[in-house]
Structure 1
């Protein structure tokens, strides 16, 4: 018998690319496969290829297609698994492979809708697909999650991935989600493993990610006589021409010049667009070359090699050994400065006189409200003014507690327009905004995250990922009005953003499951913070910094709010500009 004969594997995003390669490798080893994706045509073509392999192997396996299935679509995923359950199908292996590039641009310029969509596909798609798959899995089943090497941490290290903030946030959370599922699904006998294949030969890298990153470099500074908005419009016309024949490129540039002329000399614009496309190609090739030189043999993995990795992880004995692990298969030696620290460096107490500090608050319990009280009083006693914008979802008693002590408004902080409006109001009424402090609140007590309803899951993602991103982006717009359209305005601009939370659980008997639940959302904020800061400092050349503070410790000790206040003191000084550390676990001693 072939190794996976009489087994069934479900692979998301399997009509093309890595997903298709994994499906192919499974059927070569005897497995039946379930393939799914948004478009029918590539699934049909893949199915024909797989059927021919099955016929050759005479394995008796089968191929089943679910088209029009977006992994972020709750109803589509529910229906697929209900259909499988009704047909008495047992899925032995599910491979969470589906993904998108997401917006490839500086975070201040990223569409928040696209940000949420990227999170929805990568993170929520993985979570909900895994949870629903439990309906058709039995003891010994494997959940294999494919993520990215840019979000896996080494000691004191966090890899930034500029222009990819929603992607890194989602992938970082996926790594921690894979670990959590190994804890929560032990009683079901289900194994959960993640793997980071690193750079893989694929059209997504060569035709999308690298060229878009190169194009973003051009947009940030403008190009020749084109301002950033004009470069952005040109990029949208030009990127699809990369890799085409010279005649196609020449015609495409001519069409773009005619379309974008808007009073400019078409001949001169044609020359400029030709130069722009050449620069984009040069930079994209340089990024690819630089990455390859961080690999010992300078070779990206093939899609078939990634598929081999997945099949090895589905081996019964290997899976038992690495259950709950994130397998770093990237081979990339990526030297970075340390980005994760403990207590922030001490500084002389800043004078906040004449400055305003805005708090956006999504409190969960009384200790969150008391933290706001402590930090706001710290600002006021050192001369600053405070405005508190409290989420509508914060419990009423906590809203009243904060409002009784500080100038406050109840605000829909999930809504970017609302956040922008109130930040403008604060600036008008109480003065220049020195910093914005966002309190995420704590993770509510949940017995098993894998058993929550879809609405509860989406509320958690909103609370700990999307809302901090919304507040941060609108704070950036407050610090640099018009910076979204013209990133050159960021040069030397000042401002401070601090995200606080979620806390680690408190107590002497904290379980691994409880810690792992919190780490899912911390896992999103670490790479998000690191990526945005690299853009703010290295790309946009600003003096704006965003820190994330994670209260609590692995020993379950009580958080110390004074250490958070000390971290804010550090953040608003010039010392923060030279600090590589942007995430502080202030209650950890080492």
Structure 2
């Protein structure tokens, strides 16, 4: 498809963490809808796979910019922005998707994790988002652009004690979204956020789960209406469609500073009602 065709025709998008999972699905969907896309991640092999996915959709390689690097570093962020400007000349959309749940090597949980684990979670999930956004703002302002942050239902309002640090970081992203939206709308930049529920991606293997453990986790979630009332685990493409909606000003121009949950109903179930047969019977 030509970059002059589609709802993102002639738009330039940066999608962080696009070497797999949600980020890959977003990059492919944007490219299919006419955007020129910068894909980025730390693994060349995985990023090449995303690149091949895009090409299989009939997209010209000229519409894709691959950037290998670590957005948790100042150099990585600067290179990402400069490379995009060098190749495409502008930035219209920034999707802050990159993130991970970093666990304690000593297998401690909650507040008993080492504070170094908090620092690592914060640096990747919050600090890098703020820094990259700062660097992108001048270019987004030129084109009245869009920012979509990817958070998680772990942000609350329910507690998430086992992975407390990750939960706190994602709550920070929700609040960052609201603050940025208020400050940047005067520049014409819209900022919104999505809170995915259970979506099976490389996220879980990065936590240390093997393929069988991930498969069992997914089956357990699907089988328990108290976990996912919809009865299905989300797909990266489900989240990508919502991100595309928020990044498309024609579709969502009056949505500003919102965090939209997409979780198959998981956050609707209160703990005190979980297991109540009245929930699951007519």
Asked whether the two chains share a fold, i.e. TM above 0.5, the reply is yes
| Aligned residue in 1 for 2:74 | 74
| Aligned residue in 2 for 1:151 | 155
| Aligned residue in 1 for 2:89 | 89
Alignment of 1:309-324 (within 5 A): 309-324=242-257
Alpha-carbon distance in structure 2 between the residues aligned to 1:325 and 1:3:
22
Structure 2 vs 1, CA of residues 314 and 282 (structure 1 numbering), >3 Å: closer, same or farther?
Answer: closer
| Aligned residue in 1 for 2:177 | 178
Deviation at 1:281, TM superposition (A): 8.8
Contact 1:31–1:61, Cα closer than 8 Å, also in 2: no
Structure 2 vs 1, CA of residues 321 and 314 (structure 1 numbering), >3 Å: closer, same or farther?
Answer: same
The structure showing larger relative contact order (alpha-carbon pairs under 8 Å, at least 6 residues apart) is 2
SS in 2 for 1:9: strand
SS in 2 for 1:193: strand
User: Is 1:121–2:56 an aligned residue pair?
Assistant: no
Alignment of 1:251-266 (within 5 A): none
Alpha-carbon distance in structure 2 between the residues aligned to 1:185 and 1:167:
26
User: Is 1:2–2:6 an aligned residue pair?
Assistant: yes
| Aligned residue in 1 for 2:276 | none
Structure 2 vs 1, CA of residues 102 and 125 (structure 1 numbering), >3 Å: closer, same or farther?
Answer: same
SS in 2 for 1:144: strand
Contact 2:145–2:188, Cα closer than 8 Å, also in 1: yes
Deviation at 1:204, TM superposition (A): 2.5
Alpha-carbon distance in structure 1 between the residues aligned to 2:250 and 2:56:
30
Contact 2:32–2:57, Cα closer than 8 Å, also in 1: yes
| Aligned residue in 2 for 1:432 | none
The TM-score, its normalising length taken from structure 2, stands at 0.83
Alpha-carbon distance in structure 1 between the residues aligned to 2:164 and 2:84:
35
Alpha-carbon distance in structure 1 between the residues aligned to 2:206 and 2:76:
27
Structure 2 vs 1, CA of residues 287 and 189 (structure 1 numbering), >3 Å: closer, same or farther?
Answer: same
Contact 1:151–1:171, Cα closer than 8 Å, also in 2: yes
Structure 2 vs 1, CA of residues 329 and 289 (structure 1 numbering), >3 Å: closer, same or farther?
Answer: closer
Deviation at 1:28, TM superposition (A): 1.1
Contact 1:54–1:62, Cα closer than 8 Å, also in 2: no
Contact 1:24–1:50, Cα closer than 8 Å, also in 2: yes
| Aligned residue in 2 for 1:106 | 109
Between 1:320-329 and 1:103-112, the stretch displaced more is: 103-112
Match of 2:262 among 304, 308, 329: 329
| Aligned residue in 2 for 1:43 | 47
Alignment of 1:2-41 (within 5 A): 2-41=6-45
| Aligned residue in 1 for 2:275 | none
Over residues 284-329 of structure 1, what are the superposed CA-to-partner deviations in whole Å (9 max), with x where a residue is unaligned? 5786357654433211211111111111111213332211111122
Deviation at 1:162, TM superposition (A): 2.7
Deviation at 1:53, TM superposition (A): 2.0
Alpha-carbon distance in structure 1 between the residues aligned to 2:32 and 2:259:
26
Contact 1:103–1:163, Cα closer than 8 Å, also in 2: no
Contact 1:5–1:61, Cα closer than 8 Å, also in 2: no
Contact 1:103–1:115, Cα closer than 8 Å, also in 2: no
Alpha-carbon distance in structure 1 between the residues aligned to 2:13 and 2:214:
39
Match of 1:135 among 138, 141, 161: 138
Alpha-carbon distance in structure 1 between the residues aligned to 2:15 and 2:215:
35
Alignment of 1:48-63 (within 5 A): 48-55=52-59, 62-63=63-64
Structure 2 vs 1, CA of residues 203 and 78 (structure 1 numbering), >3 Å: closer, same or farther?
Answer: closer
Alignment of 1:163-202 (within 5 A): 163-202=162-201
Alpha-carbon distance in structure 2 between the residues aligned to 1:75 and 1:203:
25
Deviation at 1:88, TM superposition (A): 6.1
In the TM superposition, structure 1's runs of 4+ consecutive aligned residues that sit over 6 Å from their partners are 280-283
Contact 1:30–1:54, Cα closer than 8 Å, also in 2: no
Contact 2:20–2:202, Cα closer than 8 Å, also in 1: no
Match of 1:304 among 237, 251, 255: 237
Q: How many residues align?
A: 262
CA RMSD of aligned residues (A): 2.6
